[in-house]
């Protein structure tokens, strides 16, 4: 029953299968990002209030939403790595942290720039912005913990614990706009009716951008996981054979 | 199927996770009284804001209440939650999204006579995006920003 | 439908040029960096592994000149944990 699970944890198996998947993923990502960027810059109608600053929405929303996926991902992978000692899971926890920091930084920066003209300020200490900033610092903490403790058991344990804290914080980020009176707007309810606010002309390009950024997240994560596998398994026979080619 | 030592380790992790969740949850609950970014006009009317204290007030800009001076950047308007109003005075440049009928957060202090002297005015934009055409069509159908349900049923 | 009548309008972004273009520029840097950096790192890693192989082969040759060149990696592979190890 658990064989598939152990197979999934085999670094060599993952390296082989991901190598076969990568070209397809990259092709899909390129199509989505090119279509998404062109559509959102050129074709999305001006917002009745925000004018053309609504272009920022199409970068900020996908990046910020996906930045919330990192801590749950690391918490699950961290638990698997501690309980089943699966090698691949700890690799994921390690390489996800820097990528998550990039996502969070871009979410903060694009949101701030969007806020300059729409809110009249680039920063305010409201619950949404503050908790997202906390996520950034938690990720920086995980990265520095890793570089201090290297690939030891202690590092794996500390990072798994931090991911649990980060996951709780992620729930706070997500619901902060509903729980408290904050400056940041609540999530949008999209509709299929084109004569209503938030109709398809608004969300179709958003969905395409979402797909593109999601694929980018998966691809970048896979590339880093593959590198880390090569580094950790550098003395293994199959890596030597790969390098000799 | 799980080996005992793995079961034990998973148990420890779940225990710590539950503990952390409860601890953070309780902290947030304790904070929830103060974590709101701003006071509402109703809270101001109820005397919850001490005059002179630096606070934020959030509400909607009341339609027809905006009064800007001819020869300076001085502006006054009423922030409302449709139950109570607070008169706000501000001198400076307003953000692009400052509109009548739209959300606003003002930072400053309550002065004498209940007038709020703002140092900073922030526009709180809502979660609705639409083109100029859709907006015009909605307005023609008799639904102004103030009275039509902006949130579609979903 | 394209929302701009000419290229100048597109660049101007209705007066929000600085904000819109800086966000899209940061987005481009973000994408490019997080794809190209791992690729660069992989090249470095492979070069490093290859270099070590050569060093090992030569050390092995000097120690046991009669050993056929086909098996110089064996002691190293024994010392390390086997690839694809299950937990």
Integer Rg of chain B from CA: 23
Q: In whole angstroms, give the CA distance from residue A89 to residue B109.
A: 53
| Helical (H) or strand (E) element with A231 | helix A200-232
Name, in order, each residue with C-beta under 8 angstroms of B26's C-beta and a sequence gap of 6 or more: none
Q: Which of A24, A34, A5 is nearest to A208 (CA)?
A: A34
At residue B35, does pLDDT exceed 70? no
Q: Is A52 on the interface with B (CB under 8 A)?
A: no
**pTM of structure:** 0.83
Q: Is A202 on the interface with B (CB under 8 A)?
A: yes
- C83: confidence class by pLDDT, cuts 50, 70, 90: very low
pLDDT per residue rounded down to tens, chain A (245 residues): 566 676 666 889 999 999 999 999 999 999 999 999 999 999 999 888 888 999 999 999 999 999 999 999 999 999 998 888 888 899 999 999 999 999 999 999 999 999 998 888 888 888 889 889 989 988 988 888 888 877 778 888 888 888 988 998 999 899 988 888 788 888 888 888 888 888 898 999 999 999 999 999 999 999 999 999 999 888 888 888 888 87
Whether residue B10 and residue A180 make contact (CB cut-off 8 A), yes or no, is: no
Tokens at B46, concatenated: 């109820």
Domain that holds residue A124: 22-244
Q: Is A76 on the interface with B (CB under 8 A)?
A: no
Q: In whole angstroms, give the CA distance from residue C60 to residue C41.
A: 28
List pLDDT tens digits, range C35-67.
999 999 999 999 999 998 888 888 888 776 555
pLDDT mean across residues, chain C: 79
| Residues of chain B numbered 114-153 and touching chain A (CB < 8 Å) | 120-135, 137-138, 150-152
List pLDDT tens digits, range A188-212.
888 888 888 888 989 999 999 999 9
Chain A / chain C CB contacts < 8 angstroms: 138
Whether residue A121 and residue B120 make contact (CB cut-off 8 A), yes or no, is: yes
| Helical (H) or strand (E) element with A225 | helix A200-232
At residue B150, does pLDDT exceed 60? no
Look at residue C76 in the predicted model and tell me its pLDDT: 43
- Pair A187, A177: CB distance under 8 Å: yes
Q: Is A149 on the interface with B (CB under 8 A)?
A: no
- Chain B residues inside the 8 Å CB shell of A124: 37, 105, 122
Highest average pLDDT, of A214-228, B97-111, B138-152, C71-85, comes from: A214-228
Look at residue B31 in the predicted model and tell me its pLDDT: 64
Average pLDDT over residues B49-72: 88
- Pair A102, A70: CB distance under 8 Å: no
Whether residue C20 and residue A9 make contact (CB cut-off 8 A), yes or no, is: no
Look at residue B29 in the predicted model and tell me its pLDDT: 66
Look at residue C38 in the predicted model and tell me its pLDDT: 96
| Helical (H) or strand (E) element with A20 | helix A11-38
Q: In whole angstroms, give the CA distance from residue A195 to residue B139.
A: 11
The answer to whether position A5 is within a domain reads no
Q: Which of C2, B88, B125 is nearest to A56 (CA)?
A: B125
Number of structural domains, chain A? Answer: 1
Residue of chain A whose alpha carbon sits nearest to that of B34: A180
Q: Is A50 on the interface with B (CB under 8 A)?
A: yes
Whether residue A9 and residue C87 make contact (CB cut-off 8 A), yes or no, is: yes
The answer to whether position A143 is within a domain reads yes
- C77: confidence class by pLDDT, cuts 50, 70, 90: very low
Task: Tell me the ipTM for this assembly.
Answer: 0.92
Look at residue B112 in the predicted model and tell me its pLDDT: 79
Q: In whole angstroms, give the CA distance from residue C86 to residue C82.
A: 10
- Pair A44, A58: CB distance under 8 Å: yes
């Amino acid at each position: 029953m658990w064989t598939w699970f152990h197979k999934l944890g085999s670094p060599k198996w993952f390296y082989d299968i991901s190598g076969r998947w990568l070209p397809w993923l990259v092709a899909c990502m390129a199509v989505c990002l090119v279509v998404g960027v062109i559509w959102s810059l050129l074709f999305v109608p001006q917002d009745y209030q925000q004018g053309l600053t609504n272009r920022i929405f199409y970068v900020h929303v996908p990046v910020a939403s996906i930045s919330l996926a990192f801590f749950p991902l690391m918490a699950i992978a961290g638990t698997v790595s501690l309980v089943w000692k699966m090698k691949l899971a700890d690799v994921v926890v390690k390489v996800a942290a820097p990528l998550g920091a990039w996502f969070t930084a871009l979410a903060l920066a694009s949101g701030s720039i969007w806020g300059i003209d729409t809110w009249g300020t680039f920063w305010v200490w409201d619950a949404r912005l503050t908790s997202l900033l906390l996520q950034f610092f938690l990720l920086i903490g995980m990265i520095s913990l890793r570089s201090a403790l290297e690939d030891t058991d202690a590092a794996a344990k500390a990072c798994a614990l931090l991911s649990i804290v980060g996951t709780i914080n992620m729930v706070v980020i997500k619901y902060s706009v509903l729980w408290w009176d904050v400056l940041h707007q609540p999530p949008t309810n999209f509709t299929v009716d084109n004569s209503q606010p938030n109709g398809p002309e608004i969300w179709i390009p958003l969905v395409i951008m979402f797909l593109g950024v999601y694929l980018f997240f998966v691809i970048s994560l896979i590339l880093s996981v593959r590198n880390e596998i090569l580094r950790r398994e550098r003395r293994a026979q199959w890596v030597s054979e790969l390098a000799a080619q | 199927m799980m080996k005992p030592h793995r079961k034990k380790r998973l148990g420890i992790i779940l225990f710590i996770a539950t503990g952390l969740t409860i601890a953070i949850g309780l902290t947030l609950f304790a904070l929830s009284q103060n974590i709101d970014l701003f006071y509402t006009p109703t809270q101001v009317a109820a005397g919850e804001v001490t005059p002179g204290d630096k606070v934020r007030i959030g509400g909607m800009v009341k339609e027809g209440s905006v009064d800007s001076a001819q020869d300076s950047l001085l502006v006054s308007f009423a922030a409302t939650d449709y139950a109570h109003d607070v008169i706000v005075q501000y001198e400076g440049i307003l953000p692009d999204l400052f509109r009548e009928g739209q959300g606003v957060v003002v930072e400053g202090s309550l002065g004498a006579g209940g007038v709020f002297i703002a140092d900073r005015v922030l526009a709180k934009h809502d979660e609705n995006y639409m083109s100029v055409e859709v907006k015009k069509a909605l307005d023609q159908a008799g639904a102004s920003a103030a009275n039509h349900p902006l949130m579609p049923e979903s | 439908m394209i929302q701009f009548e000419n290229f100048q309008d597109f660049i101007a972004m209705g007066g929000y040029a600085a904000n819109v273009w800086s966000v899209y520029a940061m987005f481009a840097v973000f994408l490019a960096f997080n794809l190209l950096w791992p690729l660069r790192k992989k090249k470095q890693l492979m070069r490093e592994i290859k270099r070590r192989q050569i060093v090992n082969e030569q050390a092995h040759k000097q120690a046991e000149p009669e050993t056929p060149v086909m098996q110089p990696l064996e002691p190293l592979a024994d010392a390390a944990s086997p690839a694809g190890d299950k937990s």
